[in-house]
Amino acid sequence: MVYVAPLYRPPSEASSLILQVTIGCSHNQCTFCYMYKTKKYRIKSLEEIKQHIQWGQSVYPHARRIFLADGNVLSMPTQDLINVLHILFEEFPYLERVTAYAGPKDLLAKSDEELAQIRQAGLSMLYLGVESGSPKVLANIQKGVTPEEMILAGQKARQAGFLLSCTIILGIGGKELTAEHAVETAKVISAMQPHYLGALTLMIEEKTVLKTQIESGEFQLLNPLEVIDELIMMIEPMELENCVFRSNHASNYLYLKGTLNKDKEKLLRTLKEAKNNSAMLAAEESRLL
């Protein structure tokens, strides 16, 4: 077995060679997430990573893009990660970009200088799961950071020169916190100014704390129109300079693409149109099919 399953990557890394340098997630506590719950977190040894790189060379020697899995690659000691990046650029002559998931706590744990060194060694883009900007929602889902810390993590990544791709989750505040989730997320994202922003819609995974909260009635899911309302409330106050926005994941009820703020009015028009025309929304059973 080359990979320690299950393996995840962002949709935009579909054509990338995936190399696993850590196993699992160093946080692994978010109440909605089951991605790495079956794995005990660890950083692979350099010997294991070299073997994996050798395998990668044998199957994809012309790789132009490499995604470093699993979650939180920045939890590696800085010099080890830099060494791995040097090996990658030596061994893959066509390599153009290396990307990874980043956890906010791991970003905060690195100094600005360390982040700049990692960026210089060739890690160019980070995927950061922001999920929400609401302090209550972040606490409820056990994200492990406050909105202020999340903003700082994103700003540190940008200042070090990384391309920053953030995701937020529509519906993650439930019915009770939908308005707060929308308004506070707009503030946090505006403060971070990511280059890319993806809005997913909450999907309930088996064996998660959130599933139990739904079953007990503690958490109430939004219906599709409430999700649309939430996104309207979120986009309206956002102030972004040049952010590629996508809400075209298989989890979404409505597919949207644009650049914020340039296309804000167009996106809002489409959302308001969808409120009056449910035929524009994906059927519940087709989500993630």
Q: Enumerate binding residues for ligand SF4 (CB under 6 A).
A: 25, 27-30, 33, 35-36, 71, 103, 129
For ligand SF4, the closer of residues 129 and 171 by Cβ is 129
Q: Which residues contact 38 (CB under 8 A, 6 or more apart)?
A: 6
Q: What are phi and psi of 79, to 5 degrees?
A: -65, -35
Q: Cβ-count burial of 214 within 10 angstroms (0-12 exposed, 13-18 middle, 19+ buried)? A: middle
For ligand SF4, the closer of residues 41 and 255 by Cβ is 41
Tell me the closest approach of the beta carbon of residue 32 to ligand SF4, in angstroms.
7
β pairing state of 243-247 and 196-201: parallel
Return left, alpha or beta for 18; rule: phi > 0 is left, psi -120 to 50 is alpha, else beta: beta
Tell me the closest approach of the beta carbon of residue 147 to ligand SF4, in angstroms.
16
Count Cβ neighbours within 10 Å for each residue of 186-202 and write b for 16 or more, e otherwise: bbbbbbbbbbbbbbbbb
Half-sphere exposure of 81 (CA within 13 A, CB side): 27
Tell me the closest approach of the beta carbon of residue 31 to ligand SF4, in angstroms.
9
For ligand SF4, the closer of residues 98 and 200 by Cβ is 200
Helix (H, G, I), strand (E, B) or coil at 23: strand
For ligand SF4, the closer of residues 130 and 281 by Cβ is 130
Tell me the closest approach of the beta carbon of residue 270 to ligand SF4, in angstroms.
28
Cα torsion 9, 13, 19, 25 to 10°: value is: -30
Tell me the closest approach of the beta carbon of residue 12 to ligand SF4, in angstroms.
17
For ligand SF4, the closer of residues 143 and 246 by Cβ is 143
For ligand SF4, the closer of residues 20 and 117 by Cβ is 20
Q: Please say whether the beta carbons of 127 and 101 come within 8 A.
A: yes
Q: Which residues contact 173 (CB under 8 A, 6 or more apart)?
A: 132, 134, 136, 137, 140, 180, 181
For ligand SF4, the closer of residues 174 and 224 by Cβ is 174
Tell me the closest approach of the beta carbon of residue 46 to ligand SF4, in angstroms.
24
Q: Please say whether the beta carbons of 232 and 200 come within 8 A.
A: no
Tell me the closest approach of the beta carbon of residue 2 to ligand SF4, in angstroms.
21
For ligand SF4, the closer of residues 35 and 254 by Cβ is 35
Tell me the closest approach of the beta carbon of residue 254 to ligand SF4, in angstroms.
23
Helix (H, G, I), strand (E, B) or coil at 86: helix
